[in-house]
Chain A
């Protein structure tokens, strides 16, 4: 029980840090969030495809909102047309 009590402040700190991270992510500009969504797509698409589910990673080239282009290759089958 004593060990759990010692952990509590640390767990509280970790939960607070997670909340703060979420608030920071929520406050990002929309184009930056879209870029993160595309990064998530790149991470998840190979897993979905391995399960037989189609997953097309978005192409963001041509955005004027300072979104870096999608790199070719190494992205688990990123679709770039």
Chain B
């Protein structure tokens, strides 16, 4: 895992991605009890290509050149299947901009804030996202005022109320 995060940091230093942060189940696990998952969801802000397209291809090419292989939707980086998820809307962009700086062993990394993980789960809206919201509400140190502002900015208050009432 630490080597995986080191490789992601190298990709950022090389300009292949502008910023990354851990999200998904492993992001939630940072704040709550361990949650079973088989891949590491990594949210990324991608540099724009000359044609204005946002594409993961340069990241995949660079990883392939380093000997890492694709496995379905993921790339196996140092034993951990990583799924790259481009920030494709305002909520994800905000979540990445405000991600929490932390470290894993000796390696600096970032994890999305718990409030953003909850908001993203509400926006995504699957059954497992509902369970994630329940877990975060029960055990994560959520800043209520901050969360309310995130939900309001991204028009997620109605579903939040529906899920949590």
Contact = CB atoms under 8 A, between A and B. Distances in A.
Interface of A: 22-23, 25-26, 28, 30-31, 33-34, 36-37, 40-41, 44, 54-56, 58-67, 79-81
Contacts of A26: 31-33, 139-140
Contacts, number: 82
Can you list the 8 inter-chain pairs with the closest CB atoms, starting with the nearest?
A59-B79, A65-B105, A25-B33, A64-B105, A36-B34, A63-B2, A26-B139, A40-B36
Given A31-B105, A62-B3, A65-B2, A22 B76 contact: no
A40 B34 contact: yes
B146 interface: no
A80 B79 CA distance: 8
Contact of B106 (A25, A36, A40, A64): A64
Contacts of A80: 79
A22 B136 CA distance: 12
A56 B81 contact: yes
B106 A34 contact: no
